[in-house]
Structure 1
């Protein structure tokens, strides 16, 4: 399976962001990717809580969902559509939708762990003021491979990834808008740790550069990591995409040689 992780610099303008996402998805599909991943909040990444909430659309009726469902169907790819703000009445969620090659919804995941922190540099993030948290662990299948869903801050909670591995996941996908301040120290370390612990291919797909008129910044450095914890592809500091071919036999070899899944005591 050939996978692409798209790295974006989304801003407040939904139409412009979606057009850029579509352009990059088409380019990744033309490069042969059959599973294509967009980053967290690809349709709108705003420093304004009210604008971010207002960007929400109902699932599956919203225009964003229709647009990327049609794109997956046209390109005959599986599109792991990062995350967007999902509206459900007055509630909002940070939601991943995954569309199969015929455009059907094959998974929907609402982010479980919300980013309520003050990061180095005095910048405060209060994601719970924008969205509510999800409660369900979500997986789906592509070409005989089971894929697990997570989003950004989830990466700091290994128990979620243990559950995904227990569900039989071969690949775990994490769209993100990881902050520059934490990303420089934690992004690669945590991503490689999650891959090593779960013995899965780990796809960490991020936003890059600044948003909110330069008031906030994302780390980028989107990566594909193999089940041994080696980085097999990593994005530079630019908008674009990376591609990697996933090797099922290598996953099986790693799990056979170091069978941690059968050694758990707790």
Structure 2
């Protein structure tokens, strides 16, 4: 049982119409590569606050909604899941969420992930925070979602391991190159695949990529394509140690019973000053 996913690195703009057209063009490319799911960067459809959006009143929300509908229609036509970054408007005066729309291969928004840990500027000027993790299943593989600065909160990534994800979809607009190393570390520590999708504006720092459950960079987006595709295979022999040995062992270790049952009552253990 396998699933084929695509990660993207498109140029993001403040124009929802242009972003929607680009999303659909990349979906068609991914379909030609037989992808079951395509993953887009943070805030891609609406434009990203701070970098492109100075005031939410500048956003054509009707265009955002219409373009999201067109993406959903194409998802149904292609039989492809879409994870699409966008601001999600709330009832005024509440600020939008920084979100990932999860669109099924039947063209329905089946869930939405809202960024829970926002930066200081985001939380004080632009966004309302989300409150819970999101997981969904595609062809027998479980996916989770995270956004950008959340990479600095390892408890979120550990939470998704406990929720049984096979692949974490991390949409971002990074501002430093160590971001990529952190993504590799989370994948390798939690033993799941990690798809990183960043905009073309981050190309000087890193490429969008799919990272393996051992932390290795398996495939990166080439500048000429804006898209990379990889098949996830839990039975791949190169991931036997990460998936079949390390992940279950670390889960058992985290539960702690194996250690509690072997604790000793020994004065040489209690005395921390002797040699």
TM-score scaled by length of structure 2:
0.82
The question of whether the paired residues in 2 share the 8 Å contact of 1:5 and 1:205 is answered with yes
Correspondent of 2:119 among 115, 121, 126: 115
The question of whether the paired residues in 2 share the 8 Å contact of 1:148 and 1:164 is answered with yes
- Paired with 1:115 and 1:37, the residues of 2 have a C-alpha distance of 22
The question of whether the paired residues in 1 share the 8 Å contact of 2:76 and 2:107 is answered with yes
Q: Deviations over 1:184-214 (max 9, x none)?
A: 2x1221111110121101001111227xxxx
Mapped pair 1:70 → 2:73:
yes
- Paired with 1:16 and 1:48, the residues of 2 have a C-alpha distance of 14
Choose between structure 1 and 2: higher strand proportion.
Answer: 1
Gaps of 5+ in 2: 257-275
Aligned to 2:242: 254
Q: How many residues align?
A: 244
Aligned to 1:85: 87
- Paired with 2:57 and 2:7, the residues of 1 have a C-alpha distance of 25
The question of whether the paired residues in 1 share the 8 Å contact of 2:20 and 2:68 is answered with no
Q: 1:45–1:220: structure 2 CA closer, same or farther, 3 Å change rule?
A: farther
Correspondent of 2:30 among 28, 31, 36: 28
The question of whether the paired residues in 1 share the 8 Å contact of 2:82 and 2:102 is answered with yes
Aligned to 1:196: 188
Q: Deviations over 1:134-170 (max 9, x none)?
A: 1111100000111011111111111001111101111
Aligned to 2:19: 17
TM-score scaled by length of structure 1:
0.84
The question of whether the paired residues in 1 share the 8 Å contact of 2:148 and 2:174 is answered with yes
RMSD: 2.2
Provide the secondary structure at the position in 2 that maps to 1:26: helix
- Paired with 1:243 and 1:53, the residues of 2 have a C-alpha distance of 36
Mapped pair 1:223 → 2:209:
yes
- Paired with 1:31 and 1:145, the residues of 2 have a C-alpha distance of 19
The question of whether the paired residues in 2 share the 8 Å contact of 1:208 and 1:238 is answered with no
The question of whether the paired residues in 2 share the 8 Å contact of 1:224 and 1:234 is answered with yes
The question of whether the paired residues in 1 share the 8 Å contact of 2:12 and 2:199 is answered with yes
- Paired with 1:30 and 1:242, the residues of 2 have a C-alpha distance of 12
User: Shift of the alpha carbon at 1:115?
Assistant: 2.2
Mapped pair 1:105 → 2:109:
yes
- Paired with 1:79 and 1:48, the residues of 2 have a C-alpha distance of 23
The question of whether the paired residues in 1 share the 8 Å contact of 2:13 and 2:52 is answered with no
The question of whether the paired residues in 2 share the 8 Å contact of 1:9 and 1:239 is answered with no
Aligned to 2:229: 243
The question of whether the paired residues in 2 share the 8 Å contact of 1:200 and 1:227 is answered with yes
Correspondent of 1:127 among 115, 122, 126: 122
User: Shift of the alpha carbon at 1:53?
Assistant: 5.8
- Paired with 1:147 and 1:12, the residues of 2 have a C-alpha distance of 28
The question of whether the paired residues in 2 share the 8 Å contact of 1:98 and 1:105 is answered with yes
The question of whether the paired residues in 2 share the 8 Å contact of 1:95 and 1:110 is answered with yes
User: Shift of the alpha carbon at 1:247?
Assistant: 1.2
Gaps of 5+ in 1: 117-125, 211-216
- Paired with 1:156 and 1:54, the residues of 2 have a C-alpha distance of 30
Moved more, 138-147 or 99-108: 99-108
